[in-house]
Amino acid sequence: MTEHTLTVAGVAVDTRHWIGGERIASAETFTDVSPIDGSVIGEISRGTEAEAAAAVAAAKAAFPGWAATPRAERARVLHAIADGVEKRIEDLAIVETTDNGALLRSHRRGVMPRVAHNFRFFADWLLNLEHGDFETRGHTNHVSWDPAGPSVLITPWNAPLMLSTWKVAPALAAGNTVVLKPAEWTPLTASLLADIAAEAGLPAGVLNIVQGYGSEIGDALTSHPDVRRISFTGSVPTAKRITASAAANLTPLSLELGGKSPLLVFADADLDLAVDLAVEQYDNAGQVCLAATRILVEESVAEEFTRRFTEKAATIVQGDPRDEATDIGPNIHERQLEKIDGFVRRALDAGARAVVGGRRGEGQYYAPTLLTDVAQDSEIVQEEVFGPVLTLQTFTTEEEAVRLANDTRFGLAATLATGDRDRAARVTERLVAGTVWVNCFFVRDLQAPFGGSRHSGVGREGGTWSFDFYCDLKNTVTAPKGWKDHG
């Protein structure tokens, strides 16, 4: 081990940046802390404008070669990265659980396999990417996807590696080079990804990783004139700053932002299913942007729904995420925990009632909470908490249900529980959301468009939509005449 290597649950993790195929240390560091018990994991290289500029320069230098690499070869390298991920699922799982507090069993069985799938899916999609030629007055139109250039990808802490590779994989498949800036609260698995990518044969400079605080290096990355794409997942205020920073260069943006999604429960729904869907919103300690945190229940079944929900919520096991029996782990950071508790305390002071929870636990754990008696225009209904806090309101008509569901500035997702197919069709058509689930939740396919409406985001990614974003689309129109026979 070296001075720049941590041992995290037996796994060696380099704490330096990855720039131009080399490990680069910074003069300053920041402290990485585990939310499980508040213990210090270690000191991580803290990037400055100099490291940000070096990473963009490396991506720019590597871009011509990677862009010119044949599709089949790019796909082969992405599959090799996926192979490397699959070989290290256990390492990645335990490191990420230590770093962000999400369930170890989920990382092992779902999240890390999905990381590998991200690379395989976009590698395969690349090989089949086409828009058939078409004719215009005898002329042939041919659509192509040209790599756009160096891409800056800024990712969150709630699912660090999965959400990073959701961006990295299509960007690399498209032929772009990448500068990845992981969240400062969860930098470790991005460092492991650099090792895996290098072992898979990804050329130097094609993937660069800069660690540090967005307030210190974010503008240097997003305002750089050599950056041709920016993809960000995070908060609305940060997105506004990134948009302003990118404006001078007209750099295209993809923004996946917050949510305040509704779960609509109609009287004709399977109530046991509806309760299961509602309790599922506590997943990852409520740190899921897609979570349906506003439960809207038809008044005639609200009492019964609440009774069943309370019974189901009482069975949730909260504790150490490394324990197989645990259902909910800690929240990411003391600062986030204070934010969550502030939302709940202000709601209670304003007249809300805590049917479930409503308090902090020991350490960085917040009890799963359900609040009733909340006003539609209240902070707790309108603003994203990003913790295990749900609200419950009632409605009497379908019209009222839709109005309440759409009555926030967000539009990321919505969930609907009903036994009536016609109602499902009517309601989903009127909901403002990038994704709507009917009698299910969190069923995601990479070929589907993903993104939010209103303040929940700009643009869509997934399948061909990802290539549309990470590429410059070109239409070549060829005349039927004017050719010379060189036969």
Give residue-wise pLDDT tens across range 294-329. 999 999 999 999 999 999 999 999 999 999 999 999
Task: Answer yes or no: is 86 within a domain.
Answer: yes
- Residue 201 domain-assigned? yes
Confidence of residue 487 (pLDDT cuts 50, 70, 90): low
Q: In this predicted structure, what is the pLDDT of residue 239? A: 96
Q: For residues 131 and 152, state if they share a domain.
A: yes
**Does residue 299 sit within a domain?**
yes
Say if residue 373 is in the same domain as residue 308. Answer: yes
- Report yes or no on 370 lying in a domain: yes
Do 65 and 150 reside in the same domain of the chain? Answer: yes
Which tens digits make up the pLDDT trace of 96-120?
999 999 999 999 999 999 999 999 9
Describe the strand order of the beta sheet including 471-478 as a list of residue ranges. Answer: 134-136, 139-147, 471-478
Instruction: Please check whether residues 351 and 371 belong to one and the same domain.
Output: yes
Residue 418 has pLDDT above 90, yes or no: yes
CB atoms within 10 A of CB 297: 27
What rounded mean pLDDT belongs to the chain?
A: 96
Residues 166, 97 share a domain: yes
Same domain, 224 and 283: no
Q: Report yes or no on 199 lying in a domain.
A: yes
Q: Enumerate the β-bridge partners of residue 230.
A: 152, 253
* Residue 9, Ramachandran bin (φ over 0: left; ψ between -120 and 50: alpha; else beta): left
Output phi, psi for 418, to 5 deg.
-155, 155
Distance CA 324, CA 331 (A): 18
For the segment 128-140, the average pLDDT, to the nearest whole number, is 95
Share of the chain above pLDDT 70, in %: 99
**What's the whole-number mean pLDDT along residues 62-90?**
98
pLDDT over 90 percentage in the chain: 98
Judged against a pLDDT cut of 60, whether residue 153 lies above it is answered with yes
Find the CATH number of the domain harbouring 302: 3.40.309.10
CATH number at residue 250: 3.40.605.10
Q: Do 308 and 385 share a domain, yes or no? A: yes
Task: Please check the confidence at residue 137 and state whether its pLDDT lies above 60.
Answer: yes
Provide the domain limits for residue 292.
Answer: 262-438
pLDDT digits (tens, 9 = 90+) for 468-485: 999 999 999 999 998 987
Q: State the Cα–Cα distance between residues 241 and 247, nearest whole angstrom.
A: 10
Q: Do 372 and 224 lie in a common domain?
A: no
For 232, the token pair is: 């960000």
Do residues 430 and 402 lie in contact, with contact meaning Cβ atoms separated by under 8 Å?
A: yes
152 and 283 part of one domain = no
Q: What is the pLDDT of residues 253-284, one digit of tens each?
A: 999 999 999 999 999 999 999 999 999 999 99
Other C-beta atoms closer than 10 Å to the C-beta of 244 total: 12
pLDDT, tens digit, for every residue of 9-44? 999 999 999 999 999 999 999 999 999 999 999 999
HEC string of the chain equals CCCCEEEECCEEEECCEEECCEEECCCCEEEEECCCCCCEEEEEECCCHHHHHHHHHHHHHHHHHHHHCCHHHHHHHHHHHHHHHHHCHHHHHHHHHHHHCCCHHHHHHHHHHHHHHHHHHHHHHHHCCCCCCEEECCEEEEEEEEECCCEEEECCCCCHHHHHHHHHHHHHHCCCCEEEECCCCCCHHHHHHHHHHHHCCCCCCCEEECCCCHHHHHHHHHCCCCCCEEEEECCHHHHHHHHHHHHCCCCCEEEECCCCCEEEECCCCCHHHHHHHHHHCCHHHHCCCCCCCEEEEEHHHHHHHHHHHHHHHCCCCECCCCCCCCCECCCCCHHHHHHHHHHHHHHHHCCCEEEECCCECCCCCECCEEEECCCCCCHHHHCCCCCCEEEEEEECCHHHHHHHHHCCCCCCEEEEECCCHHHHHHHHHHCCCCEEEECCCCCCCCCCCECCCHHHEECCECHHHHHHHHEEEEEEEECCCCCCCCC
pLDDT in tens, 325-367: 999 999 999 999 999 999 999 999 999 999 999 999 988 999 9
* 441 close to 415: Cβ distance less than 8 angstroms: yes
241 assigned to some structural domain: yes
Query: What are the structure tokens assigned to 97, written together?
Result: 């659980």
pLDDT of residue 45: 98
Same domain, 189 and 284: no
**What amino acid is encoded at 152 in this protein?**
V
- pLDDT reported for residue 485: 77
Whether the pLDDT of residue 1 is over 70: the answer is no
Q: Tell me the per-residue pLDDT of 173-193, one tens digit each, with 9 for 90 and over.
A: 999 999 999 999 999 999 999
Pairing status of strand 139-147 against strand 134-136: antiparallel
Q: What is the mean pLDDT of residues 123-134?
A: 96
pTM for the whole thing? 0.96
Look at residue 152 and tell me if it is in a domain. Answer: yes
Contacts of 381 (CB under 8 A, 6+ apart): 260, 294, 374, 375, 391, 393, 408
**Shared-domain flag, residues 234 and 275:** no
The residues assigned a catalytic role are 256, 289
Strands 5-8 and 11-14: antiparallel
The total number of structural domains in the chain stands at: 2
> Does residue 115 form part of some domain?
yes
- By the 10 Å C-beta count (0-12 exposed, 13-18 middle, 19+ buried), 76 is classed as middle
Q: Are 211 and 186 in contact (CB under 8 A)?
A: no
The half-sphere exposure of 168 on its side-chain side, counting CA atoms within 13 A, is 32
pLDDT for res 3: 86
Q: What does the radius of gyration of the chain's CA atoms come to, in whole angstroms?
A: 24
Residues 306 and 333 in one domain: yes
- C-alpha to C-alpha distance for 218 and 125, rounded to whole angstroms: 31
